[in-house]
Structure 1
Amino acid sequence: MKVIVTERIADEGIEYLVQKGFEVDTKYGLSREELLDVIPEYDAIIVRSVTKVDEELISKASNLKVAGRAGNGIDNIDVNACTGRGIIVVNTPESNIMAAGELAVALAYAIFRNLPRVHIAAKNRDFRRNLFIGNELDRKTAGVIGLGRIGSIVATKLKGSNMRVIAYDPYITDDKFKKFGVEKCETLEELLTQSDLITFHTPKTKETYGMIGEEQLKLCKRGVRIVNAARGGLVNEKALYDSLKEGHVAAAGIDVLDPEPSYDKAPENQSYTNPLLELENVIVTPHLGASTEEANYNVGTEITRLVAGALKGEMVAAVNMPPMNVKDLSDLKPYLDLAEMLGKIYYQAEKETVQKIEIIYSGDLAEMETRVLSLSVLKGFLEPISKDKVNYVNAELMIKNMGILFVESKSSELDKYTNLITVKFHTKKKQQSISGTVFAREEIRIVDFFGYKLDFEPTPYVIAIQNIDKPGIIGRIGTMLGEADINIAAMQWSRNRKGEKAVSFVSVDVEVSNEVLESLKGIDGVLKASMLKF
């Protein structure tokens, strides 16, 4: 089988493929037209960030079985198009985390000691060291936003600098905080008011984009220093610029910008401008997080191992392939869909950090191999909160890295249904459970929602509402949705005892805006309203 490598990776990776018996062509710098001409010859392609594995290329790649991205993201690979053609997509999300973590720490040291300014001054024969007095990290407080893979590396290294480390991450368990000796902040504001250094290690989502703006910066200590080596846009750049100019923020180390410049153009061809580049108390690096020899070696050797395994038919950590060997997948698909829906509900309806996920299979399912169903629950649970592409291979590892305990059990005894999947979400304060079943092997139903009995068919857009059980609320909800021009497809209410609390699932034709949800919450008697997307 033939493999084409279109961008430079470690020589050791190429040698590994050759040793495994593959014919490897390293064709760096191919034009787009040349690549489209030769791609039908190859069984696998390995790229980095420049080559586009898009619909056009995939349509011509008649023999392509694997597309490998030597790096974390897969922005330049059309995963849906690959999946539609049965092409396995693999990448290397773990291979450059040390490089990214170390850069964040390096930026922290540099802005505390004014190193770039001092370096430029010395090069210009200005050795007046009294002009560049800095500060020590020792016994200062570092606030880490995001305690995932990279954030935990940064926290560990900063603790080694004798810093007090606090962190904010609503999706990481208390055990994970304790493991790294990091103090947990329940709110972002709690972190901002205490930190001498703030460093970001969170994905860019609708919730995190612009999470630090003018108001948040005002909460920070005067003289705070900020490092962003995660994603551009987590800090509002205008607010940061103003705060740096005024002196409230003493300095910033920025590896990512919003938007980012072209990293391939020579200076004379670069048209990018950004006010942050004008400030002496700002260090800007050109997205160097993964730019180390070690990271390049890691991504190059890891991607070739994955590509070789996939070509040989082994189960690998693919972005788009579940690890199952089922002769007739259509029989299992309704249960996979149900399991994923049950997992998706929690963080769309609740906010409290989950400590343990317990999955119970009852009835006919107790006789089946259910591992892939459990992975589907975990996949659904992670998708609303994860920056990374979640798949059936990496879901369990991601849960483990978050410090969440995962258990599975089975029971053949079942009265009302022939099959039932129950997912229990354990938090520090309570337990919430959701159950679902499949009728006639294809009709999916949610039958228990946090203790309320239902018989509800999930649809793409559902509003989950909790309210006090009293007359008139249903009508007011319907009226408000009608006034917002939102069509109700189906609805079901459930209560446990008259006059207490009730819940409802309302299927609608379109996604409901936050403004409409807030209006629903404003109805007298409505306690909660959440948008669930399946």
Structure 2
Amino acid sequence: MKIIVTERIAEDGINYLKENGHEVDTRYGISHEELLETIEDYDAIIVRSVTKVNEELLQRASKLKVAGRAGNGIDNIEVPACTKRGIIVVNTPESNIMAAAELAVGHAYAIFRNIPQAHWAGKAQNDFRRSRFNGNELDEKTAGIIGLGRIGSIVATKLKGSNMKVIAYDPYITDEKFKKLGVERCDTLEELLKQSDLISLHTPKTSETYGMIGEEQLKLCKKDVRIVNAARGGLVNEEALYNAIKEGHVAAAALDVLDPEPNYDKKPEDQDYQNKLFELDNVIITPHLGASTAEANYNVGTAVSKLVSDALKGEMVAAVNMPPMKNKDLNEMKPYLDLAEILGKIYYQAEKETVNKIEIVYSGELAEQETKILSLSVLKGFLDIVIKEKVNYVNAEFIAKNMGISIVESKTSQLEKYTNLITVKFFTKSKVLSVSGTVFAIQEIRVVDFFGYKLDFEPTPYVLAIQNVDVPGIIGQIGTILGASDINIAAMQWSRNHKGEKAVAFVSVDCEVPANVLELLKKINGVLKVTLLKF
């Protein structure tokens, strides 16, 4: 197979590809125009962050089977366009986590001991008055970790090694994972902010986390708190941070990421980036160095080479998108894959309590088939709601287990009402909730059990799940509010277990339901809960 590498990776990675029988062209720095002229000759392409694997390129990449990204993000690869063409997309999200974690810890030490400021004073100003740079020790202080995933867990372990008390806020990580790490769980972000001497952020940037540390949150923090953000720019509101530091409430901050970020490739004489935080001596800013170590560069280069080589051999790899399947198999499995993913998506859209175990039960005809890919599809749907990095059929189980969630798969051939049934049970500390679904005929997907309520509902892109007291008049009020808001109802189904107690409804609508309309529905007398499910 012929592979083009357009950006520099570890030489050992290049050698690995050659040793495995591949022809490798290293065209570091090749222009997009040149690549367009030559891409049709290649079976695989390996890039880092500059080369654009976009629709224009893919239209000419008639032989391309694999696109490999040496690193974590895939912003420069149009994944849907690759998937449409059956091109496997792989990246290396695990290869630089130690580098990112160590940078965050280094930043923590730097802002507690004023290391960069003291260095600069001596080197640039010939000022060695050490009394100016009196700092504080990390020993016996409290570190608050926001996001206890792969990087956050490493940071927590290293800070515990500095004899810090470590607390963390992450609603998606189980108690077992917290206990294993020896970290105290905070049930709310506010609880963490009030206790921490050091706050270190390790969460992805989403609509929920963007600006999660703003003016109100900073006011809750202890005086002289120190803040480290080596995750994503925008998690901390920079205007609010600037003001809190100027006012003396925040002692110092260290940022490896900014919002927006400067152009890291511009020469100093061409740089036009401005940020008020640069005015403050007790703010340390580094140019997104999280993954910039020799070890991380080596790891991402060798890891991506192995993934690309294995994928070209037809082996199952940790792909960002689903690996290619034969059309016949894909067509047969697709409705069941879709059903499994839908069932997985339901829980965290409707509930908040942390899941520590998922049991997937296959009944009827499905019990006689290989169901591993279906279980991965359940996990993919479940994780897609809470994990903003790309979840795929290969990494879904790894991510779930890394969160402390145990996965159980069981089968039974006994089934009375349906020919096939998938039941997903979500176990929390206090309860077990389950959802079930089936496929009728060829591709008719139905949800037939929702947290103990029997129904027969076709999941659509937008569904209102409503729980209410079983009394007359509620259906009419819901319809009136939706109609007045110009939201069309496509289908509606109510279910109850006992007259006069509680009932649930699935209401399929044609569009997104705004937050203000959801609030109106919640205010209806007798309505207990309203959730918009997106499939």
State the match for 2:359 in structure 1: 358
1:438 correspondence with 2:458: no
1:52 matched to 2:52? yes
What value does the CA root-mean-square deviation take over the aligned residues? 1.0
Per-residue Cα deviation, 1:1-34 (whole angstroms, up to 9, x for no partner): 2111100100110111111111111111111111
Question: Which residue in the other structure is 2:486 paired with?
Answer: 485
Conserved? CA contact 2:360–2:422, under 8 Å: yes
Work out the CA distance in 2 between the residues paired with 1:109 and 1:386.
29
Does the CA contact (< 8 Å) of 1:322 and 1:372 recur in 2?
Answer: no
1:414 alignment partner in structure 2: 415
What CA distance in whole angstroms lies between the structure 2 residues aligned with 1:106 and 1:31? 37
The residue type equivalent to 1:78 in the other structure is E
Q: Indicate the SS of the match to 2:128.
A: coil
Q: Distance in 2 between matches of 1:325 and 1:87?
A: 13
Contact 1:339–1:373 under 8 Å retained in 2: yes
Q: Following superposition of structure 1 onto structure 2, how do residues 147-162 of structure 1 map, counting pairs within 5 Å?
A: 147-162=148-163
Offset from partner CA, 1:219-274 (integer Å, 9 cap, x none): 00000000000011111111111101111010000011111111111111111111
Give how far 1:328 is off: 2.7
Alignment of 1:238-387 (within 5 A): 238-322=239-323, 327-387=328-388
Q: Contact 1:324/1:372 (CA < 8 Å) preserved in 2?
A: no
In 1, distance between residues paired with 2:326 and 2:379? 19
Range with greater deviation from structure 2 (511-520 or 238-247): 511-520
Q: C-alpha separation between the residues in 1 aligned to 2:263 and 2:203?
A: 23
Does residue 75 in structure 1 map to residue 110 in structure 2?
A: no
Q: Which amino acid aligns with 1:487?
A: N
Please identify, of 395-404 and 273-282, the stretch whose mean Cα deviation from structure 2 is larger: 273-282
> Secondary structure of the residue that 2:103 maps to in structure 1?
helix
1:325 Cα deviation (Å)? 7.0
Q: Alpha-carbon deviations, 1:430-483, whole Å to 9, x = none?
A: 110001111113111111000111110110110111111111111111111111
Q: Which moved more, 1:506-515 or 1:193-202?
A: 506-515
Following superposition, the deviation at residue 108 of structure 1 comes to 0.3
Q: TM-score, normalised by structure 1?
A: 0.99
Q: Which moved more, 1:507-516 or 1:175-184?
A: 507-516
Matched, 1:26 2:29: no
Stretch moving more, 510-519 or 153-162: 510-519
- Which residue in 1 is equivalent to 2:180? 179
Query: What are the Cα deviations for residues 344-377 of structure 1, in whole angstroms up to 9, with x where unaligned?
Result: 0001111110010000011111111111111110
2: CA distance, partners of 1:85 / 1:236? 40
The equivalent residue for 1:101 is: 101
| d(CA) in 1 for partners of 2:269, 2:531 | 51
Q: Deviations over 1:139-178 (max 9, x none)?
A: 0000000000000000000000000000000000000000
1:505 and 2:506 matched: yes
Which whole-Å CA distance do the structure 1 matches of 2:212 and 2:370 have between them?
43
| Residue 427 of structure 1, CA deviation | 0.3
TM-score by length of 2: 0.99
115-124 or 48-57: bigger deviation: 115-124
Which amino acid is the alignment partner of residue 398 of structure 2? L
Aligned residue number for residue 529 of structure 2: 528
Q: 2: CA distance between counterparts of 1:117 and 1:220? A: 24
DSSP-derived class of the 1:379 partner: helix
Work out whether residues 68 and 307 of structure 1, in 8 Å CA contact, stay in contact via their aligned partners in 2: yes
For residues 352-408 of structure 1, what are the alpha-carbon distances to aligned partners after superposition, in whole Å with 9 as ceiling and x for unaligned?
100100000111111111111111100000001112111111111011100001001
**2:211 counterpart residue number:** 210
Paired with 1:328 and 1:82, the residues of 2 have a C-alpha distance of 19
CA distance in 1, matches of 2:379, 2:373: 10
Report how far residue 322 of structure 1 moved: 4.3
Question: Is the 8 Å Cα contact of residues 88 and 323 (structure 2) preserved in structure 1?
Answer: no
1:448 is aligned to 2:473 = no
More off after superposition, 323-332 vs 344-353? 323-332
In structure 1, C-alpha distance between the alignment counterparts of 2:282 and 2:483, rounded to whole Å: 53
| Separation in structure 2 between the aligned mates of residue 466 and residue 199 of structure 1, nearest angstrom | 38
Paired letter, 1:250? A
Shift of 1:512: 1.1
Query: Aligned in 2, Cα 1:323/1:58: closer, same or farther, shift over 3 Å?
Result: closer
CA distance in 2, matches of 1:526, 1:239: 38
Distance in 2 (alpha carbons) for counterparts of 1:453 and 1:340: 20
Unaligned runs of 5+ in 1: none
Asked whether 1:132 is paired with 2:150, we answer no
Aligned to 2:118: 118
Contact 1:435–1:446 (Cα < 8 Å) also in 2: yes
- CA distance in 2 between partners of 1:328 and 1:399 (Å): 26
- Aligned residue identity for 2:176: D
Q: Which amino acid aligns with 2:30?
A: L
CA distance in 2, matches of 1:519, 1:135: 51
CA distance in 2, matches of 1:63, 1:37: 13
Per-residue CA deviations over 1:177-202 (Å, capped at 9, x if unaligned) read: 00100000011111000000000000
Within 1, Cα distance between the matches of 2:303 and 2:292?
Answer: 16
CA distance in 1, matches of 2:429, 2:143: 26
Instruction: Say whether residues 1:35 and 2:25 are aligned partners.
Output: no
List runs of 5+ in structure 2 lacking aligned partners.
Answer: none
Partners of 1:495 and 1:322 lie apart in 2 by 42
CA distance in 1, matches of 2:278, 2:526: 52
The match for 1:201 is 202
In structure 1, what is the equivalent of residue 189 of structure 2? 188
Identity %: 77
Separation in 2, partners of 1:30, 1:10: 18
The 2-side partners of 1:176 and 1:58 are apart by 42
Which residue of structure 2 aligns with residue 169 of structure 1?
Answer: 170
Give the counterpart letter for 1:291 in structure 2.
S
Asked whether the equivalents of residues 86 and 324 of structure 2 are also in contact (C-alpha less than 8 Å), the reply is: no
